[in-house]
Structure 1
């Protein structure tokens, strides 16, 4: 087994300044920001003796190994709440603006500038402050012996804070809370802190006094202490409190009784009002051709002779019961001029049956909306019901003219279908070159599960008429203003050949090519297709299926097209074993008896550049107590198994490498991922250990061995320098 090829690239994270070239600096490496404000992380760079070329400029801002903003050749990527100044980059200003600071914005940022192949960076540590909201509460009761002063600070950061409780400027209690855990301080969900300081005293000391109690809070987010004050209020006696409680309870009970009585009165009034007149829904009766001949509804209530009844057609009043008190039950009122409607009002116990009889033609009332309104003249309550007679005429859906069958004398039978129409009568006319050949008046057949109809018509034509004439079918229906016209044309057409690439991805994955021959007749099922490939530059052609080109399958079949022609489709599938097989020119040679010479179609697939997996080594955390290194593995085609080995060695002597996770170097190795980025996978291998004296003088290495399919491995090295204290801290909550 051949040893894997090891590619070694040394990543140096030291900031170096040369006499010429690219320099990066910041005038403010430790900015302080307050929550809710904005802060500018200043990063400037110079290019000497050249000028800045933004087309070759890349600026990257990283926070805890995560990219938060980039500028690449004019394109800007920014996370929400961050902003890069594109115009400032032209003059060497790569500063990053945080528009509204939150607690998660605290920590280490790295500004990396790449220009014409040269790369420099600078680190900036942001310290976030949150000002506390301070309140004081004084609880006293003369009937008891103790009083309590509570001073509370809410939503501050960082956690160090001190309280000073005074009485008339005399200190009563001082409490300082540092980073050590304390029951007087707790963390809020937004990662800020709240704290409370409590002082108890003898109530007799403040009897009949107006002393001022103050709370002074000191926090590093403000330059001066925050002071709040309060004065005591003499408490009530137990007898006073009892009397007040009794009076309040009596008032509440009286109000509740009055409220219940008011609700009952409103309910009775509403029932009296709503029961004065009621009208049922209008129901159709005795339908003729799906159009009702009468409409009926029921009127109920009390003193129905006080109810006025009105009927409307659309917005036109067709009947009003002007004198209902004089109207006897069982009256029938015909409406004339002309006589289209007839009104009946029949008494049946405590209800009236209202009927509107319709004597119009069906087409005259299609789409009409009838309304019945009943109004009680005493309560002024009005109820209205409506019923709309829908225009149910439905336009037919007509299919294309299709060839139904062929007779022995080569005559053809054409068919057209009309469906989903109402009413059921339809007329279909056939024309050959504008001359009527056939006319049919058809009665539609009911469609199962629907109230519409369908019908079909056939017409027999000769081959000459089909080949040389224009054949039309016109469909007439009463729902149509104009007939629907369908045309049938027998197209002779010429042969056409196309070649396409369906899938063409990477080594060991299936590739599928397609070649089509269009315009064939029904008896032209004699097509031969032969595939060849050759190098894109020069070289001999290799036939598919031969020893030089192994294929998985070569299938072909015929497909009917809407224009009554055939299309022959040939699919070629193969699996490339090497990258050189992806860089080929493909030719499909098509033979048919109607062709004087074969069709030759050439295809050069547009293959995306094959990207090999790569490795990047990063330093995430380097403090006195904890060190974390990341190995980022990206551009993985698929998340296969791979082996990651961490080692370290001394830079001066370059001794034998020590492997992480052994007794000589106890370190924790964990893996995060994989996850998708674009079309490839990404994985992070994390190394965490406790530094020892001399750890910063080591060279840290990571080697990644990929599967046999990748036939390679990657190795990266990292020289760690000991940064000044605080310049490479970990996150706030760690």
Structure 2
């Protein structure tokens, strides 16, 4: 609680952010002094000593502590407290030994922040080499031995050489052995056959090791002896060793007899123990007896409750630290310190479950006198252990839930504090704790705190949780930041969806970003042009983005850039989508790589066709605006059975916009199109096209379709030969089919014309400037009133270029048949009347009028009222009728008169007249006598 009060005070002081820097790994030669460098900095210097604490640990043992209470450290460790105020927390370790290698931890506490950094120290011990036997026997194999001992680390290389430069490749390196002090030893051997040629040769053993600045080597020459001298040397050596052993035995025996009992009274000091007994930590109970006799014996016992004490049996042999933690074994170490003192240490791993309430007894027996000291296991603790790490999860409300779980603590009292630091502002965060039983003796606590999304838009925001427990020398803490490497919700940027770029065609480049939190994403699009390394930011109005929240409560967005590529400015460009987020120290990006701008060939539609000489059809394919230049154009034809490749003429040109144009001309024989299965095709392939494009033509696709003019109808007269003329032109090839058809009046059925009554004549011509054909079809017949009246004639043309036949019609020929009337003279009848007969006329509409006047008087013409009979139909379809006029004349005798009949008909260009001269005879009109012969 005191620390938490101190920490709250520190929060009010707005201390700066803490950063710790170390140099790791480091190496040191055995016996030297090494400086373990650890420096720190705060954002608001200078360092305030009131908030500073520095700890150094080696294998979980504290070797230095520096805080407001002062400085405590191991005798071989030195530290400068004045420099600590300037940010230097380094220590110097003197007289480095092999046991000093391993992990050192530098902990800097600048309340309320704690930073830990580790330094790996590797101890270098150079090897010592020895070549024990340099004597060889002539004619016998000799194995040379080079021994390297006392080196560290274990990696070593040994090479044998002859005469200084020739390497012996058949040497063998033995298995590396670890010595009791932690160093290593190894032997290297090489076998040779000594002979007279080796007398002047030298051999060298060369050793390479990290602890050596230069290779270590030893050179020698063999000493040659005969075999009999070897046996003598072995016998002499054995005798010498026996003599040395006898002398040592006599010396030791006399030394032991001279030992005397320690003077004074036998005394046993209290057991020394650590301040806290923490579950899982190593405990050493230390007891010293003074004025002890030579036969002093020590026994350690443990007593549980009221049970009888049990003698502690130490584990046999040396037990590794990890094994001891698992076995909970005891290790007893007795040591005579001079001739008067005797010490004993009981070393074990404290277990809350096993040792809570246990009493340890140290019993000394010296010259039959027994003394003992007791130690009760209290107070006891179990350190809270952090399960995994501080966990984070997202809430639907848009907050991050931080969850801390500590297991195995004893006793249950624990203080947990959550704080949030944003810039220079610090505030305490409310939290909820839940304490449950973890085991029969220990507890588990879970603490949760919620922080809003808006806080994390500032990357300097840090969340710190600190816990304090009686088992801990110092509070422990964890600090979380959105910039931590294990922060789970950093953006994931997918590759840019890159379409192909086409000149003058807008493109959309899409980049998807997902799995990030909070929603504070910044996206920039940049472009690098070909031949340049300079990045150019694109304006924001060229791209847009929209974010959304996913089912896993993270955010995702899709950003789309719209651009208009051109060959001049975008060839070889590279687009970059650069993403920044508060959870990242630097931006991340994805690139398209260098892109190529292409342009698709566009055909000029419709593809032009012209007629050439010798009835050839020329096809003109014009492809415009494509890039790159390479393009493949293939012409071919097929007739239903075979396929033929054609040879076109291609001409390529370049436009002002850097694109290319090509004109491909291909000529084929026009009459081939008469075959309905004949087809000509052209195909072009280009890099910009997904699939080749094809155009093909059959006879239906030729543009030269026949155009028909209206049928020319002459004046038709029954019985008089006439010709209906139909002209059609502008067609190719020359393969039309013409048919004349008749539809009779009142009947829609088409009737085939009988060849006896109707004849068809054709005339062709291809004198048109465009080399197309023209044809005139004539239907010759004698109009018949009964057969042809009201009939309709059709001229129907079929051609390969036509899907359906075309035709022209005359319409019903009702008013076009005429026959002039045959008019008789005016004749008197027996009943005193005059008549006029009209025969063989058509159509039946006719007008007959009568007029008269007196010739002598010169009177004007007078209209008479005739009596006209009905029109009669003749067998040939013509008409006949008779018109009768009654005329009395005047009262004068011998008076002369003129009687005239006027006939009007459609077939007559002008009315026809018939005249009769009359004279009066006794009141009656009679024809003049001179006219009688004509009657």
Q: TM over 0.5: same fold?
A: no
Q: Highest relative contact order (Cα 8 Å, sep 6+), 1 or 2?
A: 1
Bigger radius of gyration, 1 or 2? 2
Instruction: Report the TM-score, using the length of structure 2 for normalisation.
Output: 0.26
